[in-house]
Amino acid sequence: MKNPEATYIRRTPTSKKLWQKAQQHIPGGITANVKHYNPYPIFMKKAKGSKLYDVDDNEYIDYCLCYGPLILGHGHPTVTKAIKKQLDQKGTTTYGTPNEIETKMAKKIKQHVPCAKMIRFTNSGLEATLHAIRTARAHTKKPKIAKFEGHYHGAYDQVTISITPPLSQAGPNQAPIPVSNSAGLPRHILENTVVLPFNDLPNTEKLIKKHKNQLAAIIVEPVARGFIAPDIDFLKGLRTLTEENQIVLIFDEIMTGFRLGLGGAQKHFGVTPDMVALGKIIGGGLPAGAFAGKPEIMKVTSPLGSKHPYDHLFHSGTFSGCPIVLAAGLATIEELEKPRTYNHINWIAEEVKKCMNDVFDDYNIAAQAIGLGSMFQCLFTSQKRIRNYRDTAKADAQRRVNFDLELINNGVYVRPHKPFHTSLVHTKADLDKTFEAIKEATKTVAK
Ligand SMILES: Cc1ncc(COP(=O)(O)O)c(C=O)c1O
């Protein structure tokens, strides 16, 4: 039998050397834990369009796209031009003062995202959810929040809970136990975060009712981890329950925003939350985030009219609203507004998913590619309907990693075990190569 890891090591010796060198200065040799996988991550040296090139001169069709933001691919000419124009004509990277592009971008987001009536910018998705949650607390004056098991909202204390809990520690399906997802989390955090079961309205309702007087906000990824669709009745029910109990409903649309269409998941499903956290695509490939919502909630961030600093919400950030970032984001959204862009991006995803599912069937392998629009995940499991984290946790993770390493060996890049994303610049020729890689990878893991 072919050994995917041995082939990977043979093809990427320079990456291995650079990774070992990096470890002398950087813990684990990586600057974000998501970048690590076994045996070691590949070091890229350049990229263009749908392609990545590594330090050993291997070429890859990129389906990671930096975990989603690069919906126009690498170095899209419109985005590059917008960044250069901002630098050349304005003479600086950032002002540290208000600038007009902030208002332009705020208006653009408002035009598309239903709940986004007032907007603040941040430098990352993590900051966006953090400030959305703080805003909800300031608005409701209640102490706790609720999140769903298996959902990710950034790597800070309040939400680094029950993202990937071992099932043996996660408690009953109907009332998950909050489990720390990181070393160093203070105990009180676990006491202030209620964990809810996704796509399970009756039990979510019970937990909301139990904690309603203490819950400031419920934060949810409307499409869990970018690929588990919500039952529409579940989303609608969540909307009704939060309204009835004076709880701020926050959609974390850092994945789905401007990917599941210009209006994100809230437009797609026709359910409007009170607040939204955005990131990834709105920075056009540069670090960005935003939190937005109803004026009566967002006004707590405004210093106007407050007598003391502690009367309003402390939201700051040296680089928030950085004009280069917003210029790149604006150019990206304007490109996405052109006709038929999403048709193409989604078509590429549909074709890759279909190929995977057909080939898995041909080889009689219990596996499936699932997802909406241009994001999908591949799970080696016989379970037919994937509805929440617990369903995904039962899949065969090692087989998936072998499949991914073999895709990489055949010129298709995905961060092993993570979802796939497609872009406007993936082509029919990319698809043909991808189909071949899927067949090879499936053949290997079938044995
Ligand atoms: C749904 C979701 N929320 C929040 C974040 C955190 O965003 P960032 O990595 O920009 O801090 C991510 C990142 O992948 C995400 O997918």
54 catalytic residue (yes or no): no
Examine the domain organization and report whether 129 and 195 are in the same domain: yes
d(CA 89, CA 142): 47
CA 195 to centroid of ligand 1, rounded, Å: 19
Find residue 194's DSSP bridge partners: 146
* Ligand 1 binding pocket mutation candidate from 151, 256, 280 (most atoms within 8 A of CB): 280
37 catalytic residue (yes or no): no
List strand residue ranges (DSSP E) for 199-295, in order. 215-220, 248-252, 275-279, 289-293
Task: Give Cα separations from 257 to 20, 221, 266, 387 (angstroms).
Answer: 37, 11, 9, 21
Q: Which residue from 297, 283, 293 is spatially nearest to 331, judged by alpha carbons?
A: 283
d(CA 201, CA 431): 39
Q: Which residue from 268, 129, 177 is spatially nearest to 120, judged by alpha carbons?
A: 129
Task: Give Cα separations from 375 to 195, 205, 231, 264, 437 (angstroms).
Answer: 25, 29, 17, 13, 19
Predicted confidence pLDDT, tens digits, the chain (447 residues): 689 999 999 999 999 999 999 999 999 999 999 999 999 999 999 999 999 999 999 999 999 999 999 999 999 999 999 999 999 999 999 999 999 999 999 999 999 999 999 999 999 999 999 999 999 999 999 999 999 999 999 999 999 999 999 999 999 999 999 999 999 999 999 999 999 999 999 999 999 999 999 999 999 999 999 999 999 999 999 999 999 999 999 999 999 999 999 999 999 999 999 999 999 999 999 999 999 999 999 999 998 877 777 778 899 999 999 999 999 999 999 999 999 999 999 999 999 999 999 999 999 999 999 999 999 999 999 998 999 999 999 999 999 999 999 999 999 999 999 999 999 999 999 999 999 999 999 999 998
* Total-model pTM: 0.98
Instruction: Give the ligand 1 atom nearest the CA of 279.
Output: 10
Examine the domain organization and report whether 67 and 89 are in the same domain: no
Examine the domain organization and report whether 53 and 148 are in the same domain: no
Examine the domain organization and report whether 319 and 440 are in the same domain: no
Find residue 144's DSSP bridge partners: 215
Which listed residue (8, 40, 60, 152) is catalytic?
152
pLDDT at residue 447, as a whole number: 81
CATH at 298: 3.40.640.10
- Token pair, residue 131, equals 């400030």
Q: Which residue from 440, 434, 445 is spatially nearest to 355, judged by alpha carbons?
A: 434
Instruction: Give the ligand 1 atom nearest the CA of 151.
Output: 1
Torsion, Cα of 58, 59, 60, 64 (10° steps): 80
- Token pair, residue 394, equals 């039962």
pLDDT at residue 152, as a whole number: 98
152 is in which domain, residue-wise?
A: 77-336
CA 383 to centroid of ligand 1, rounded, Å: 27
Task: With beta carbons less than 8 A apart as the criterion, state whether 287 and 124 touch.
Answer: yes
Atom 9 (ligand 1): residue with closest C-alpha? Answer: 125
Which listed residue (54, 200, 252, 391) is catalytic?
252
Examine the domain organization and report whether 187 and 134 are in the same domain: yes
Examine the domain organization and report whether 302 and 384 are in the same domain: no
CA 230 to centroid of ligand 1, rounded, Å: 19
**Per-residue b or e along 184-209, where b marks 16 or more CB atoms closer than 10 Å to that residue's CB:** ebeeebbebbbbbbbbbbeebbebbe
d(CA 151, CA 252): 9
Instruction: Give the ligand 1 atom nearest the CA of 32.
Output: 9
Examine the domain organization and report whether 45 and 88 are in the same domain: no
Examine the domain organization and report whether 305 and 201 are in the same domain: yes
CATH at 352: 3.90.1150.10
Examine the domain organization and report whether 277 and 410 are in the same domain: no
Q: Is the peptide bond before 39 cis (omega within 30 degrees of 0)?
A: yes
Cβ–ligand 1 distance for 129 under 6 Å, the answer: yes
Domain end point (choices 336, 360, 388): 336
Examine the domain organization and report whether 192 and 331 are in the same domain: yes
d(CA 53, CA 411): 10
356: enclosing H helix or E strand: helix 341-362
3-state DSSP of 137-158? HHHHCCCEEEEECCCCCCCCHH
Atom 4 (ligand 1): residue with closest C-alpha? Answer: 153
Q: Is 150 left (phi over 0), alpha (psi -120 to 50) or beta?
A: left
Q: Which residue from 178, 226, 220 is spatially nearest to 200, judged by alpha carbons?
A: 220
Cβ–ligand 1 distance for 415 under 6 Å, the answer: no
Domain count across the chain:
2
Task: With beta carbons less than 8 A apart as the criterion, state whether 151 and 318 touch.
Answer: no
pLDDT at residue 368, as a whole number: 97
Domain end point (choices 283, 313, 336): 336
Task: With beta carbons less than 8 A apart as the criterion, state whether 282 and 124 touch.
Answer: no
Examine the domain organization and report whether 233 and 312 are in the same domain: yes
d(CA 394, CA 389): 9
Task: With beta carbons less than 8 A apart as the criterion, state whether 273 and 251 touch.
Answer: yes
CA 256 to centroid of ligand 1, rounded, Å: 11
Atom 8 (ligand 1): residue with closest C-alpha? Answer: 125
361 catalytic residue (yes or no): no
Task: Give Cα separations from 173 to 11, 167, 203, 387 (angstroms).
Answer: 43, 10, 9, 12
Task: Give Cα separations from 312 to 132, 179, 272 (angstroms).
Answer: 14, 32, 25
Report how far Cα 241 is from the mean position of its chain's Cα atoms: 25
pLDDT at residue 363, as a whole number: 97
Chain position carrying tokens 């979510």: 204
Examine the domain organization and report whether 215 and 105 are in the same domain: yes
Task: With beta carbons less than 8 A apart as the criterion, state whether 101 and 327 touch.
Answer: yes
